[in-house]
Amino acid sequence: MQNTLIECVPNFSEGRNLATIEAIVAAIKSVEGLQLLHVDIGAAANRTVVTFAGAPEAVVEGAFRGIKEASALIDMRQHKGEHPRVGATDVCPLVPIRNISLVQVVVWAKILGQRVATELNIPVFLYEAAATAPHRKNLAAIRKGEYEGLKQKMEQPKWQPDFGDAFNATSGATVIGARPFLIAYNVNLNTTSVEVAHQIAAEIRESGQIINGIRMQGQLKCVKAIGWYIKEYGKAQVSMNLTDFSVTGMHHAFEACKASAEAKGISVTGSELIGLVPLTALLDAGKFYANGKVCTESEYITLAIHHLGLNELAPFSAKERVIEYLIF
């Protein structure tokens, strides 16, 4: 279909070696017809999130070249970082943007997965809309045990990869799938306590927590969350994936973290967006904080940035972070 557009957001397990990151990004950019939208480098997480878009054929080729370059330059046996991961290219989602359905994107995810396993000898797990079984849909379930437990996990019948069968000690595994747009969003706390961040995450995430052997559901639907400490910021964070921002937006997540933190005698100081955000998500937050006042698009965005504290850790430019402002 003419003007078909998908986005790809591979997460690479390298956030400290700039030469490696630049080589991976260069490999992706070498594909004609791709638009590189954003590169988000996290030193403490030791992770880089790259966002690019284009026609499906070009995006899949770009993703393959990036995964290939990462497999040549990243040795998972040496990798340490705060973020859960199973491989050099930890996860590689494809996202429908224009004139293509999620079902059609699943086909491209499987094409990419088969090629990665066949040509690079990297085992591939399919997730989200591409998952081949219900227990494999959730990325957190696939990641459980992380790289260190991957070899043993792959020996279990229920956790054999969808493509490839041999453990790759250097590259680990890659999780590939198709999903709607996801917002990676972190809320900053005025504490260094990972335990407090864990407690807040457990209270707000949809899966909740187990108390006295009983699963207690969390406050927010469509939210995955963990707590961690980011040394470069000197702060603990509640790190979240908002899997459906029409159900739970950034403002909902921020206010829930704020209330939970205040109940523990601490406060939130701001927040951090990883990668890009849909315009609607920022406008929804702006309208929430406008409290009924009718504003222009620019004014709503300014309100969202201010009340969410998106400028706390680094300057936030909507022109550089809103996908609609970047896409060709």
User: pLDDT tens-digit profile of 312-321?
Assistant: 999 999 999 9
CA 154, 158, 160, 162 dihedral sign is: negative
The answer to whether residue 223 scores a pLDDT higher than 50 is yes
For residue range 53-94, list pLDDT tens digits in order. 999 999 999 999 999 999 999 999 999 988 999 999 999 999
Burial 55-83 (b: 16+ CB within 10 A, else e): bbebbbbbbbbbbbbbbbbbebeebebbb
Q: What percent of the chain is predicted at pLDDT more than 90? A: 93
Q: Strand runs (DSSP E) across 220-293, as ranges?
A: 223-230, 235-242, 268-274
pLDDT reported for residue 211: 87
3-state class (DSSP) for residue 133? coil
> How far is 187 from 270, CA to CA, in rounded Å?
6
The answer to whether residue 24 scores a pLDDT higher than 70 is yes
Q: Where are the domains of the chain?
A: 5-178, 183-326
3-state class (DSSP) for residue 99? coil
Query: Residue 21 — pLDDT band, cuts 50, 70, 90?
Result: very high
pLDDT reported for residue 327: 87
Name the least confident of 182-186, 187-191, 228-232, 324-328: 324-328
| Residue in 1, 2, 7, 90 with CA at minimum distance from that of residue 275 | 7
Known catalytic residue at 83? yes
> How far is 157 from 252, CA to CA, in rounded Å?
39
Among the listed residues 38, 79, 83, 198, the single catalytic one is: 83
Q: Which CATH architecture has domain 5-178?
A: 2-Layer Sandwich (3.30)
> How far is 218 from 267, CA to CA, in rounded Å?
20
> How far is 9 from 25, CA to CA, in rounded Å?
12
The answer to whether residue 186 scores a pLDDT higher than 80 is yes
The answer to whether residue 273 scores a pLDDT higher than 60 is yes
Q: Strand runs (DSSP E) across the chain, as ranges?
A: 5-8, 11-12, 35-42, 47-54, 89-98, 124-128, 174-178, 183-189, 209-211, 214-216, 223-230, 235-242, 268-274
The answer to whether residue 1 scores a pLDDT higher than 50 is no
In this prediction, residues 21-35 reach a mean pLDDT of: 97
Q: What percent of the chain is predicted at pLDDT more than 70? A: 99
Task: From the options 3.30.365.10, 3.90.870.10, 3.40.50.12280, 3.30.70.670, give the CATH code of 183-326.
Answer: 3.30.70.670
Mean per-residue pLDDT of the chain:
96
For residue range 96-148, list pLDDT tens digits in order. 999 999 999 999 999 999 999 999 999 999 999 999 999 999 999 999 999 99
